[in-house]
Amino acid sequence: DIQMTQSPSSVSASVGDRVTITCRASQSISSWLAWYQQKPGKAPKLLIYAASTLQSGVPSRFSGSGSGTDFTLTISSLQPEDFATYYCQQTNSFPLTFGGGTKVEIK
């Protein structure tokens, strides 16, 4: 199985800050990577797929980059509604494993 390692596990930031979350795959997954946002008590929401394609309706302050084994999710200017937990998931091969999550907290 492909292992997905996210870092950091948590980050404290202020509104307006730029936040970067990284995800590393244990082997190459080309661009088969998705990013999700999850708020407490809610199902995850797809933000980005194919490493860098923004899902319809997702604000443009979210962006994704990377290929192969190293990927990044960037929030260019953190908004109050962005405080949540973020997960990466490889969609290259079954089982479609998730990273451990990154909690973005208010500083």
Partner 1 sequence: EVQLVESGGGLVQPGGSLRLSCSASGFTFSSYAMHWVRQAPGKGLEYVSAIISNGGSTYYADSVKGRFTISRDNSKNTLYLQMSSLRAEDTAIYYCVKESESWGQGTLVTVSS
CB of 40 to partner 1, least distance (A): 10
In angstroms, the CA 37 to CA 73 distance is: 11
In angstroms, the CA 42 to CA 23 distance is: 22
The contact set with partner 1 (CB under 8 A) reads 1, 34, 36, 38, 43-46, 49, 55, 87, 89, 91, 94-101
CB of 39 to partner 1, least distance (A): 13
Q: Which is nearer to partner 1, 19 or 87 (CB)?
A: 87
Q: Which is nearer to partner 1, 17 or 84 (CB)?
A: 84
CA-closest candidate to residue 61, choices 16, 23, 101, 105: 16
Q: What is the dihedral of CA 75, 6, 38, 33, to 10 degrees?
A: 80
CB of 46 to partner 1, least distance (A): 5
Helix (H) or strand (E) holding 34: strand 33-38
CB of 6 to partner 1, least distance (A): 9
Q: Which is nearer to partner 1, 83 or 98 (CB)?
A: 98
Q: The tokens of 61 are what?
A: 């302050």
